[in-house]
Amino acid sequence: MSLFHWRSLLLVSLFCLLMACQQENAEPAAETADEPITETEAEPTDDLVLESTLEVINIASMQRREVYHTRGHIEAPNWSRDGSYFLFNSEGLMYKLPVEGGDPEQIDTGFATRSNNDHGISPDGTQLVISDQSQEEGQSLIYILPIEGGEPRRVTDLGPSYWHGWSPDGETLAYVGLRDGEYDIYTISVDGGEETRLTEAEGLDDGPDYSPDGAYIYFNSVRTGTMQIYRMKADGSEEEQLTFDDYNDWFPHPSPDGQWIVFLSYEPDVEGHPANKDVMLRLMPMGDNADAEPRVIAELFGGQGTINVPSWSPDSENVAFVSYQLVQP
């Protein structure tokens, strides 16, 4: 073999060796920009972006349908009484969205520009109730305004107060209030006036929502050490525990037909109702089958903002909720 050929062979070998070393020391490829980051993969940081999806689940088939997705923070859908639209809050404002999806429309709430995720619709569908923190040094107070928007009318004198239920006769609101260091459940006339305290157990009581006949108020309480679902008569008497497992259960919502309760469940080690957790929506029968075990109808990434307020469809066949993702920007 000639010296030329030996030199050529040596140059080719050196080139191949150099390329192999560069490949071995190269950085791994970056993740896809929109790949979801779950809680088990990464804790929320300023480097991640929140995305929200308003979904509907059919309780019989457990099929989920995406209605609206946004790179932003939306919370707590209410389903309109006529079934045609949703309400939700985002960045302190209220929005209306057609049930088939589309573009949200902002509702005029006047001075109330810091509404939180405790809001709802009157039984006759003509009024909107909000819990807003734009007045009284940022304390949440309850207001009522026309469903199409307008100037809010203050209902609660004391705060903080967080709305959760409207009696079927349209006369009374049920809510959570912090008074003397204790969160308890209260009721008040829609016209305002003196509030009535319903619970006195030590620890947090939250999430009161009326049964469709107005006879009971369903709520969650941590009085046993674990957040569980309870009910009581609408006057606060005959409190009764309904769930007894290790999960932390929040925000029970009776279906309009009086057959079901849907609620949110956190893992046993989760305290409070934080955002960005692996959670479940669970369904429990009312009435004659009330002793049956709750069943899981959805698993999702969410928590705070997912189902804080009543969100049943008028026909009791579907539930609206919000799931979340933390993604790379």
Reported as a single tens digit per residue, the pLDDT across 34-52 is 333 323 333 445 689 999 9
Whole-number mean pLDDT of the chain?
A: 88
Residue holding tokens 């008569």? 233
Q: What is the pLDDT of residue 290?
A: 63
Question: Which tokens sit at 264?
Answer: 């949110």
SS3 288: helix
pLDDT in tens, 143-156: 999 999 999 999 99
CA distance between the termini of the chain = 59
CA dihedral over 271, 264, 113, 175, signed as positive or negative: negative
Q: What percent of the chain has pLDDT over 70?
A: 84
Alpha helices in the chain (DSSP H): 3-25
Which of 34-43, 126-135, 164-173, 237-246 has the weakest average pLDDT? Answer: 34-43
> Closest Cα partner for 88 from 57, 122, 53, 62?
53
pLDDT of 6 higher than 70: no
293: which DSSP letter? P
Give, for 283, the enclosing helix (H) or strand (E).
Answer: strand 277-285
Span 153-207, pLDDT tens digits: 999 999 999 999 999 999 999 999 999 999 999 999 999 999 999 999 999 999 9
**What phi and psi values does residue 131 have, to the nearest 5 degrees?**
-115, 115
225 CA to centre of own chain: 22
Q: Please check the confidence at residue 2 and state whether its pLDDT lies above 50.
A: no
**Is the pLDDT confidence value at 20 over 50?**
no
The token pair that represents 101 in the structure block: 């999806």
Q: How far is CA 298 from the centre of its chain?
A: 13
Backbone phi and psi for residue 176, each to the nearest 5 degrees, phi listed first = -105, 135
Q: Mapped to the 3 state alphabet, what secondary structure does 165-215 carry?
A: EECCCCCEEEEEEEECCEEEEEEEECCCCCCEECCCCCCCEEEEEECCCCC
More confident residue, 30 or 13: 13
Q: Per-residue confidence at 269, pLDDT binned at 50, 70, 90?
A: very high
Condensed to tens digits (0 to 9), the pLDDT of residues 84-105 reads 999 999 999 999 999 999 999 9
For range 317-327, the mean pLDDT: 98
Average pLDDT over residues 27-32: 32
Q: Are 220 and 230 in contact (CB under 8 A)?
A: yes
Whether 1 has a pLDDT exceeding 80, the answer reads: no
Residue 288, pLDDT score: 59
Beta bridge partners of 132: 115, 141
CATH code for the domain defined by 34-327: 2.120.10.30
**Can you spell out the DSSP letters for 1-33?**
--HHHHHHHHHHHHHHHHHHHHHHHSPPPPPPT
Lowest mean pLDDT of 93-102, 286-295, 299-308, name the range.
Answer: 286-295
Q: Which helix (H) or strand (E) holds 140?
A: none
* pLDDT value of position 47: 87
Q: What is the dihedral of CA 189, 129, 141, 69, to 10 degrees?
A: 160
Mean pLDDT throughout 75-91?
98
Q: Could you tell me which residues are beta bridge partners of residue 283? A: 262, 295
Confidence of residue 136 (pLDDT cuts 50, 70, 90): confident
287 has pLDDT over 80: no
Residue reference for tokens 């995305």: 51
